[in-house]
Amino acid sequence: MGRIVTPTAQFPFTKGLMPQEEMLELGKKSRKLVIGIPKECNPSESRIPLTPEAVEMLVAQGHEIIIEKDAGKKTHYSDQDYSERGGFIVQTPQEVYKSEIILKVSPLLLSEIELLSENQTVVSSLHLNSTAGQYLRNLMQKRVTAIAFESIRDDDGALPIVRAMSSIAGNTSVLVAAEYLSNVNGGKGVMLGGISGITPTEVVILGAGTAGEFAARAALGLGASVKVFDDSVKRLMDLQNILGQRLYTSIFHPQVLEKVLRTADVVIGNITQEETNGTYVVSEELVKIMKKGSVIIDLSIDKGGCFETSEIREHSSPSFVKHGVIHYCVPNITSRVARTSSIAMSNVFAPLLAEVGQRGGLKQQVKDDPGFRQGIYIFNGILTNSYLGGLYGIPSRDINLLMAAF
């Protein structure tokens, strides 16, 4: 009787080369994440970084999501919406801050930093204001890793959170400007846009990025005359191609900018001081020559602003008048449409967190993903952003050099 030869018996090393072994190796690499979402303490912040649907997806992948009671209330997500999809609802922030990763929208308050412990990771936005220096030093003392989500880049080199929020901010800025041109809100009673027989309102946009694109779309849709400035001719050309029409564009030539500002009804700025080496695009002298009752919307106020007359305000008191010009300078303008903004943010955070888990944890993600690494400004208590170091007089180290030793 002949002996039956199985594949394993015939090729004794086949088993070690089969795909199952590699899959088992990948399975061991993935890791459960414990993610905490505290309730925002900033009264003007209404967004939440993960929707109930995103929580359900992450829980299904084995991760644990801890959410403070009423964290989604301002976005009209109830605690039950989250608990039914696998989230753990806790009563106090102290319980949330025991999590491995703290995920929130606004920067932590100094009192919230006290709840952190060593080796935790904080993912939030980063606002450059009068308290930012102390904020950085306190995080460094806690020896945590801090990530500014607006600086994280994807595989294409783009900024996914910035792109999502900027598109919403651009649209919203035009709607806000329309409100403040109205006499109901103290404006001069001008409709943003134009109708037959009436000269259209003039909207000047500083910056041809995503926010500028969507602001231009909204303003053009209403019938306004739109003028866009940027320091890159390529970006201006790309904007015209995207919009599919010719519109007034210019580089930042001082005399041209001054001439345009004299007749502008609305000026929307989205140029950060980091891009201009710490200088303002529009000086106070230029604001003085603007028409009385015109409106300034500073979308870069969280990064220092691009108007010298800008002052950070909250949603409870968002505007002020200086030199006869109405200023709207709220850092989180997208919080005005919290539900839309939360869904947009969640669409980025959910797959990103899933990837972190699949890679085996946040430190491995930092090591493997250079785009994610760009979001880090503090790594284990060490400042890694040279711009912030120079701005606030804090020594910094290159994150890539730190990773080489990791």
DSSP per-residue letters across 79-102: HHHHHTTTPEEESSHHHHTTSSEE
Report how far residue 261's alpha carbon sits from residue 55's, in angstroms, rounded to the nearest whole number. 47
Total count of residues recorded for the chain = 406
Number of helical H runs and strand E runs in the chain: 18, 15
Question: Per the structure block, which two tokens stand in for 141?
Answer: 């003392």
231 catalytically annotated: no
Pairing of the two strands 202-206 and 145-148? unpaired
106, 219, 291 from 197: Cα distances, Å: 45, 18, 22
Q: How far apart are CA 137 and CA 75, in angstroms?
A: 32
Q: Is 109 exposed, middle or buried (0-12, 13-18, 19+ CB in 10 A)?
A: middle
Which of the residues 63, 302, 327, 369 is marked catalytic? 302
Pairing of strands 202-206, 266-269: parallel
156 is catalytic: no
Which of the residues 127, 265, 298, 327 is marked catalytic?
127
φ, ψ dihedrals at 80, nearest 5°:
-65, -35
Contact criterion met (CB below 8 Å) for 150 and 162: yes
Distances (CA, A) of 231 to 82, 100, 249, 283: 45, 42, 11, 17
> How would you label 175-203 residue by residue, b for 16+ Cβ within 10 Å and e otherwise?
ebbbebbeeeeebeebebbeeeeeebbbb
**Residue 326 β-bridge partners:** 295, 321
**In which residue are the tokens 């306190």 written?**
138
Question: Residue type at 17?
Answer: L
Given a contact cutoff of 8 angstroms between Cβ atoms, the answer to whether 270 and 212 are in contact is: yes
Cβ neighbours of residue 48 closer than 8 Å, sequence gap 6 or more: 37, 40, 71, 72, 74, 75, 77, 105, 338, 342
CB 268 within 8 A of CB 328: no
Residues marked as catalytic = 127, 302
